[in-house]
Structure 1
Amino acid sequence: MARKPDPGARERILAAASRLFFEHGVRAVGLQQIIDACGCGKNLLYREFGSKDELVAAYLERFACDWQILLEEATEAAPQDPAGQLAEIVERVAVRAGGNGFRGCALSNVHAEFPDPDHPLHRYVVDHYAARLATLRDIARRTAAREPDALARRISLIIDGINTNAGILGGDGSLTAAVAFAREAITVATAPPQGAADSPAGR
């Protein structure tokens, strides 16, 4: 008798794998652990994911989707204010990093586990970070910043600092300090040049 299709199998497998990968690291988790955690058979796992690398790629895509959701939330919170959007992005990153069990950026962790620059998972992470910086740059260029590229890089570094610090020390007071630092950096970057208000053009 043919086995009935299980439409929720892929998501169950991915959810179990994501939890294990995030808690223990990708290389430390074997496929049998994932099979045991989600209660599926080996054949079902390989039907949904042809290899462990394919499963890890789906895990990374899940976190990349979370980043897109975060961007949408920041845009909705400050729809006509690109400077405000940058601040909202940092604040939302800090909120997520302050959650229980946070172990750093999943993509950065995978990058550290796959140092070979030719490995597809390594390239995926590099491409994601490049795309993230490009998105921040696009937003920064819509602000009044005189050097939007520099502002985007500062925001990117603050995000990385939040993820790294929270992954090691947990959600301590440094998260609040990081958000305040980001807001200060945005304010300084978008402030009119000194003396502009007193110039003929500023009157």
Structure 2
Amino acid sequence: MPGDNNIDQTIKRDDATPPRAAEKILGVARELFYRQGIRAIGVDEIVKRAGVTKPSLYRSFSSKDELAASYLRGYDLEFWGRFDEAVAAHPGDPRAQVIAFLTRVGKRTQMSGYRGCGMTNAVVEYPEAGHPARVVSEENKRELRRRLRAMAAEMGAADPDTLGDGLLLLIEGAYISGQLFGAGGPAQSVARNADLLIGASLAR
């Protein structure tokens, strides 16, 4: 699976009883979008698998684009949940925080059915600026870049922006190579390569 938490958390709840149809739709869309791509999956397939009607989908989501954006907002929450867990596990040690996060990334890339980062995949699928799915994904990547640069500065790097960007490139490379090579591929060593990059940057 693309994340460790339940996608249901992305549904806004106005009372104690969540909209059951919306939960089903988003859960099915999440699985299909991640496994097969957003453009490849039509609304008819989603409602069929969710066991709901098409009007039910459009009562919860104004369009397929909005459904895709909702899926990615949930993905975003899960991503930062994992990132923040790594940070919290190593207070005051940004190098260890980055390595802890990338260790988990490396392990996920070795899992059967791994399809990389849903955000990265969405950006590739939707090159047009302003598309709802692309907007959510771009915001995630920009924030990740900002955080990595800030963490590089905390490490004392002479050129923190370059180090932060280098770490981002390693992460994105792991997402893609994990899909290309699967188990035993280069993505399994992303944490080790990040540590080497950090060490070389700090040694200057």
Taking structure 1 as the reference length, the TM-score comes to: 0.85
**Corresponding residue for 2:153?**
141
Deviates more, 1:154-163 or 1:111-120: 111-120
SS for the counterpart of 2:154 is coil
**Contact in 1 for aligned 2:175/2:187 (Cα 8 Å):** no
**Corresponding residue for 1:153?**
165
Over 3 Å counting, the alpha-carbon distance change for 1:167 and 1:38 in structure 2 is same
Question: Is structure 2 residue 77 aligned with structure 1 residue 39?
Answer: no
**Corresponding residue for 2:121?**
109
Deviates more, 1:145-154 or 1:49-58: 145-154
Q: Distance in 2 between matches of 1:6 and 1:143?
A: 44
**Contact in 2 for aligned 1:90/1:155 (Cα 8 Å):** no
**Contact in 2 for aligned 1:86/1:140 (Cα 8 Å):** no
Number of equivalenced pairs: 188
**Contact in 2 for aligned 1:166/1:172 (Cα 8 Å):** no
**Corresponding residue for 1:16?**
28
**Corresponding residue for 1:189?**
201
**Contact in 1 for aligned 2:66/2:132 (Cα 8 Å):** no
Q: Distance in 2 between matches of 1:172 and 1:40?
A: 41
Match of 1:127 among 128, 131, 139: 139
Measured after TM superposition, the shift of residue 77 of structure 1 is: 2.0
SS for the counterpart of 2:155 is coil
Give the letter aligned to residue 188 of structure 1: A
Q: Distance in 2 between matches of 1:81 and 1:118?
A: 37
SS for the counterpart of 2:62 is coil
Compare CA radii of gyration and give the structure with the larger one. Answer: 1
Measured after TM superposition, the shift of residue 111 of structure 1 is: 1.3
Q: How does 1:87-98 map to 2 (within 5 A)?
A: 87-98=99-110
SS for the counterpart of 1:153 is helix
Give the letter aligned to residue 187 of structure 1: G
Return 5+ residue gaps in structure 2 as ranges. Answer: 1-16
Q: Distance in 1 between matches of 2:71 and 2:167?
A: 25
Deviates more, 1:163-172 or 1:52-61: 163-172
Q: Distance in 1 between matches of 2:116 and 2:26?
A: 19
RMSD: 1.7
Return 5+ residue gaps in structure 1 as ranges. Answer: 194-203
Over 3 Å counting, the alpha-carbon distance change for 1:6 and 1:182 in structure 2 is closer
Q: Distance in 1 between matches of 2:38 and 2:145?
A: 25
**Contact in 2 for aligned 1:25/1:109 (Cα 8 Å):** yes
Taking structure 2 as the reference length, the TM-score comes to: 0.85
CA deviation digits over 1:27-76, x for unaligned, max 9?
11111100111111212111111110010001111211121111111112
Deviates more, 1:145-154 or 1:123-132: 123-132
**Contact in 2 for aligned 1:104/1:168 (Cα 8 Å):** no
Question: Is structure 2 residue 68 aligned with structure 1 residue 56?
Answer: yes
SS for the counterpart of 1:37 is helix
Q: Which runs of 4+ in 1 moved over 6 A?
A: none
